[in-house]
Amino acid sequence: MYTIVYRDKQIFTSTRHNIYQSDNRVDKIRFLIDSENENINISDFSVVVQIILPNGQNGILSYLVFEPDLYNNRYLIAYLPITKTLTNQVGTIILSLSFFMHDIINDIYYTMNTNSTQLQILKSNIASGSIPSEDETNILSQIQAQINSIENSKATCIDYNELTRELTLYSDVNKENILTVVTLTDDVTWSLLE
């Protein structure tokens, strides 16, 4: 399991394991987010993972859903499965985090970004056609269950507009309450992680 740690507005990899081309749901990326910060309560933020695939032209977005208990009484913990979407190409994956919060009382939007870290996808000898495809119905059910469990002040839905390159985070499933809108860089083609 890969472990990515966020501390002092930086991310770094603390544990590395080999990830091979076409690996699918046999490993996870564990995120440990330092909850001790003098200025802000990091647990009030929604966290979006931005992953640029090895071709440098395609990106994947996902948001983190944190476990209810802290790791070592200090770190928020979340997991992101390593799917074939991430391992389809051999090379370097570039990963960064963005934190978003909307202070509803004062109508203030907070945004915080991190540096990036890299994960290597190694060449596999398995033919790519031999890996079975995902059961889409099961995945959508899992995503819906995660969305329903997030509080209203955090992002529960994400939309991506390819024309305007805007990522919109919503606090409700009906997509009526916008938390924030972020314009993504135009040198990468982005899509949502499935």
Residue predicted with more confidence, 83 or 175 = 83
Q: Are 159 and 59 a contacting pair, CB within 8 Å? A: no
Report the candidate in 157, 154, 82 with the shortest Cα–Cα distance to residue 122.
82
Q: What is the pLDDT of residues 106-127, one digit of tens each?
A: 988 888 899 999 999 999 775 5
- Reading the block at residue 102, the tokens are 């909307």
Quick one: pLDDT at residue 132? 46
**CATH code at 2-192:** 2.60.40.3350
Confidence of residue 139 (pLDDT cuts 50, 70, 90): low
Give the number of other Cβ atoms within 10 Å of residue 152's Cβ: 11
Better pLDDT: 75 or 43? 75
Reply yes or no on whether the pLDDT at 71 is more than 50.
yes
pLDDT band at 62 (very low <50, low <70, confident <90, very high): very high
Q: With 90 as the cut, is the pLDDT of residue 50 above it?
A: yes
Domains of the chain, by residue range, sit at: 2-192
Q: Is residue 57 within 8 Å of residue 14, measured between CB atoms?
A: no
pLDDT at residue 143 in the model? 58
In whole angstroms, give the CA distance from residue 120 to residue 25: 16
**pLDDT given for residue 145 in this prediction:** 55
Q: How confident is the model over 125-138, as a mean pLDDT? A: 51
Instruction: Spell out the SS3 assignment of the chain.
Output: CEEEEEECCEEEEEECCCEECCCCCCCEEEEEEECCCCCCCHHHCEEEEEEECCCCCEEEEEECCCCCCCECCCEEEEEEECCHHHHCCCEEEEEEEEEEEEECCCCEEEEEEEEEEEEEEECCCCCHHHCCCCCHHHHHHHHHHHHHHCCCCCCCEEEEECCCCEEEEECCCCCCCEEEEEECCCCCEEEECC
Q: Which residue has the higher pLDDT, 137 or 83?
A: 83
pTM: 0.68
